[in-house]
Chain A
Amino acid sequence: MLARLRKPLRKPSVIPGFGLTLGFTVAYLSVLVLIPFAALGLKASGVGWSGFLDIVTDARVQAAFRVSFGCAFLAACINAVFGLLVTWVLVRYSFPGKRIIDALVDLPFALPTAVAGIALTTLYAQNGPIGGLVEPLGWRIAYTPLGITIALVFIGLPFVVRTVQPVLQDLEKEVEEASASLGANRWQTFSKVVLPTLFPPLLTGFALAFARAVGEYGSVVFISGNMPMKTEIVPLLIIGRLEQYDYAGATAIAVLMLLASFLLLFLVNMLQSWSQSRTRA
């Protein structure tokens, strides 16, 4: 009975190790993901619907969500523009040190976020090398939403570059030649032929950078100044609640944040399948 039931669940294969590898994978994910998230669900259900609404409609919580999502969106937009520019220059042009600069694009993936945080804060503080430059103009960068956005641009840049780069590399020169021979000038070729092909990966890179930026903590916490209602981000609010042993508050805010993140992940997957079907067609 069991053997007959198992048949359609898996296609037969001569390769061994199905039970061992899948069993280990599922057990590992259970300990690290399923059981802890079940604990989160259990704690969240203890908060109750009205308790949840009370916590998430609090003015300070709403302000933190506006700061987190607003700065993340702005940073992802900046990354989409400059990420596309950097990718274009790296793929199409040649200049000395290109390989090193190409490798350096991954720095935000490799550099611990706390290090990025203190480095950016020191750079952009009023007495810092860059913050000091704009200070006479009356601009302040560190400890303002602008500073948060700069940290999030740093964190998100490689997502855009590394998503667009392979597509631009594989773009066939013939398409551009055809466009040019049909009388299009370079700008028309770029905006009507190249850009539409790059748009799906650009959108995916944008969404990935946005999703990462929304939850980012380490690089932001130093440069933000953490003023409630002004520069306080959602992850910091969660830590604040935990430090006051307000587990219900921390859980409710985390659940709302997770819902937003899952929505983003879902959108990313939709975008990826949409862009794949477009490139295949």
Chain B
Amino acid sequence: MITTTTATTQRPATGTLPQATAEPVWVRVLLTTVALFFLALFLAAPLYIVFSQALSDGFALYLAALTNPDALAAVRLTLLVALIVVPLNLAFGVAAAWAITKFEFLGKGVLLTLIDLPFAVSPVIAGLIFVLLFGAQGVLGPWLDEMDIKIIFAVPGIVLATLFITFPFVARELIPLMQEQGTEEEEAARVLGAGGWATFWRVTLPNIRWGLLYGLILCNARAMGEFGAVSVVSGKIRGLTNTMPLHVEILYNEYNLAAAFAVASLLTLLALVTLVIKSVVEWQGERQRAAALEMRAEEA
């Protein structure tokens, strides 16, 4: 990447040679300018508008919007949902990746397709299927009513819809990683007498920890930010079933823009923190891979 520029500047004497595998300077400047303008328009401008609108009425009102009881209830509910959803999907992701990558069995392709399903389904349909199952007119509706269990327009419905939307993240991150690492190390651990759990904790987990962390933060970001699926099942009862993204919608539709953007700014900070952790994790993963390659080279 850097070498292309240095190569062209260091070898002017050879005339046309540097041009052979690099574009002329004016093309490079033009393409970079257009790309950066596009990214500024689509990525930087929305970020800027969130914070400028949130602080448009001053910092005191910004804090007031965030400490409003309905806003605090929304923050609490969002944290509660994430606290339930993330560990469950972590367990699912590890179990699914273990079964899929360490064993050969019939029906693996079907299982992989099912894991990809939430990516292909509209979030609104994800909410709808739970309404059709647990709602008042749903398949299990009359029975749930008799038992006095409330799922739709209550927290369990929000948790289920969020689970559906976010279950692929950890699994999708781990499957290619564990596939690449194969099964030799686990087989060696077993042959040397390690038990199943010891094999997982001491051999597999250290190998997959960065991928696991990456999957977890993506799962968490989506769990806290999910809007479509949750809005179908929540009923949007203020203070009770209103998550942060739903609270943003209500405030926005009431033309309370500063408060809507104040709550939105918290979610935006969460997204930015997620991106920072993601970059660090990727960098660590690259370092780990480079170190492993070096070790292999030394052995050879």
Contact = CB atoms under 8 A, between A and B. Distances in A.
Contact of B129 (A40, A111, A120, A214): A40
Interface of A: 8-11, 13-18, 20-22, 24-26, 28-29, 32-37, 39-40, 42-43, 82, 85-86, 88-95, 99, 101, 103-116, 118-120, 122-123, 128-130, 150, 153-154, 157, 173, 176-177, 180-181, 186, 189, 211-212, 214-218, 222, 234-236, 238-239, 242, 245, 247, 250-251, 254, 257-258, 261-262, 264-265
B133 A39 contact: yes
B42 interface: yes
Interface stretch (B61-69, B118-126, B291-299): B118-126
Interface residues of B, number: 107
A176 B104 contact: no
Contacts, number: 301
Nearest to A116: B46
A104 B274 CA distance: 11
Contacts of B53: 122
6 contacts: A89-B31, A114-B249, A123-B49, A154-B42, A157-B43, A186-B20
B231 A239 contact: yes
B95 A176 contact: no
B98 A21 contact: yes
Interface in B249-274: 249, 252, 257, 260-261, 264, 267-268, 270-272, 274
Contacts of B128: 40, 238, 242, 250-251, 254
A217 B226 contact: no
Given A99-B279, A238-B125, A9 B105 contact: yes
Given A25-B95, A113-B225, A32 B268 contact: no
A93 B264 CA distance: 34
From A35, A90, A111, residue with most partner B Cβ within 10 Å: A111
